[in-house]
Each structure stands twice: as structure tokens, then as C-alpha cells.
Amino acid sequence: MNILSIIIAILLFGFMIFFHELGHFSMAKWAGVKVNEFAIGMGPRILSKTVGDTTYALRLFPIGGFVAMEGEDEDSADSRSFTACPVWKRIIITAAGGIMNLILGLIVVIVLTCGQSLLGTTTVANFTENSVSANYLQVGDKITAVNGESADCDYDIIYSLIRDGDGIVSMDVIRDGKKLHIDDINFDMADYGGTKAIVLDFGVYGEEPTFGGVISYSFRWMYSLIKLVWRSLGDIISGNFALNQLSGPIGVTEAIAEAASSTNIKSLLLILALITVNLGVFNLMPLPALDGGRIFFMVIEWIFGKPVNRKVEAVIHSVGMALLLVLMVIVAYNDIVKLVAR
């Protein structure tokens, strides 16, 4: 990992943040809301330019960004304030950041798909030498689920097997037109950088790419990434993943930098897709201080016809932000420990 790789990683991370904030900004402008500042980064300004009502700023620390809208966090009599905007438009503005991350992820996935000579299916094509799964599966089996999780593309199979902790897997397949459920498929396990994971000992058929096939496959792959992120968050909440396995901006930058330092552009784009989808899904979760948490209160306002007391909402978001900051400190500490240990 060299300096150039780190610079590329910071730029790509900043681009993901920019894309997220661009979603908020563009929808705020569409809704006629006054935007006081559009900033990339946090901390003191290092560059800024005011155009019309909006100051565009680049701040010192490349760990985030924000769109400061009139009346978003304070009372304002301005007719163009955020709170003066109809609630359905406020929901669109708030959701736009996470949605833009998902759109960016889809664009990257489409680019990756266009670079593939064949599009993977879920139908078993072959087995490696001394394959364990050959004792349970047959060539021509169409895998429809792994450990109860649906398999709509080959990446669903890969991600489900990666998440399995003990190598004992169940699969649903279609064999000769009949649905079969196969329990206790015992895969071999191997150590990958200190983490044990299943050894994938079979391959699947590929299809020649067509325009329609590329679009269909890209959406299924994107859906697979969203499911992976959602299930991983569930694993964290349930305790299947420990806090020391999480990564923050430092770990994310390191992962991107390592991919950038390799000659495999596919690895870099895949990490970019996974991280931006992660940002999108996480931000849209209905948790205090996140975009999804703010949308939750707006939906309550829409249903009952009046907003939740702003002071009460502010306290809830403040508590959520404090907990989020504590989590960020823990994650940053873990990232630093991992870097020092290498």
C-alpha cells in the first residue's frame, strides 16, 4: 500500500460522500428549500465559494459531509426553510442521500457486469477435485436457496456461504424438475487472513451476456449486495459479528487503498459497490441521528397531521448521535489497532 493508493482511496471515499450529499442537495433545490452550505468533509473550511444563497465548501477532514438547509435544525421564518416544505417533499429530500448511494452502487455493478465474459447462474456445472459437495449435489442442480436464504444469482450463493460459520450448510435445489431440500452439506473450511470460511468446491454455468441479460443480472446482483448488507447488520445486532470486526473510515480507506494498489480493477470496483451500498442501506435505517430516523419522525407527522415536539425529537437524535460517535470511536480504535498490528 503506497501513498498513491491512499490518495486514490481518500478520493473514492470522498466521491461516495459527495454522491450522497448531492442527493440531498439536488432534491432540496428541486423542492425550493434554501441550502446555506454544501460541504464535503468535516472540520474547518480549507476552500469555499458562495454562489447565490449557497456556500460550497471543502473541509479539512475527509470523513463525511453535509448539506445545511435553512430551518432544518433550528426555527426559521423563511418561507424557503426545510420545515416550511410539505412533509412528503421533506421525506424525499432526506431519503435522497441513501438512494443516491444505492444508485451509485447499481452503476458500479452494471460496469462490473459489462466486464464479465459470462454471467453466472445458480446451476451447478462442475466440481473441483476431491470436492465434498459432490457427495450431495449433482451437475445440473439449480440452487434456489442456501441456509434458507433465496439464491437469485451466483453471488447469493457465494455471500451465503461466506456468512456460514461452521461449514455445515443446507440447500434447496431443483433436480430433474423436482424440488429437493438437502441438509448437512459439510464443506471444508480454510483460514483466510485469520478468518475461517467455507472452501467453495463447485462451479456454476455461465450465460452469454445480452443487453437484457446484463440489466437483469445487474439488478439481481445489486439486490444480493443489499441483502448481504442487511443481513450483516442483523448479524451485528444479534452478536454473530463482534465490534472488533467492524470498520470505520480508516478501515474503509485502507480496504480501498489495498484494492487500488493491486492491478485488479474489478476488486476495487467491487469494494466501492459494497461500501456505497452499505452507506445507503445503513443511512436509511430508522435509527436516531440517521436519515432513516429523521424519515421515521416525518412519517409520524404525515400520519397524524402534526409534527413530534421538536425538542423531544432533537433530544432523541442527540442521544442517537452520541451513541453513534461512541461507536465510531470504538471502530476507529479497532482500525488503528489492526493497522499497527500489521
Residues assigned a catalytic role? 21
Retrieve residue 261's grid coordinates: 494498489
Place of cell 441456509: 147
Whole-number Å distance between alpha carbons of 41 and 17: 8
Interhelix angle 265-283/249-261, nearest 10 degrees:
160
For 250, other C-beta atoms within 10 Å of its C-beta total 17
| Dist. CA 64–CA 80, nearest whole Å | 26
Whole-number Å distance between alpha carbons of 126 and 137: 10
- Picking from 342, 335, 322, 164, the residue whose alpha carbon sits closest to that of residue 243 is 335
The Cα–Cα gap between 283 and 152 comes to 25
CB-based contacts of 203: which residues, under 8 Å, 6+ apart? 124, 125, 126, 127, 128
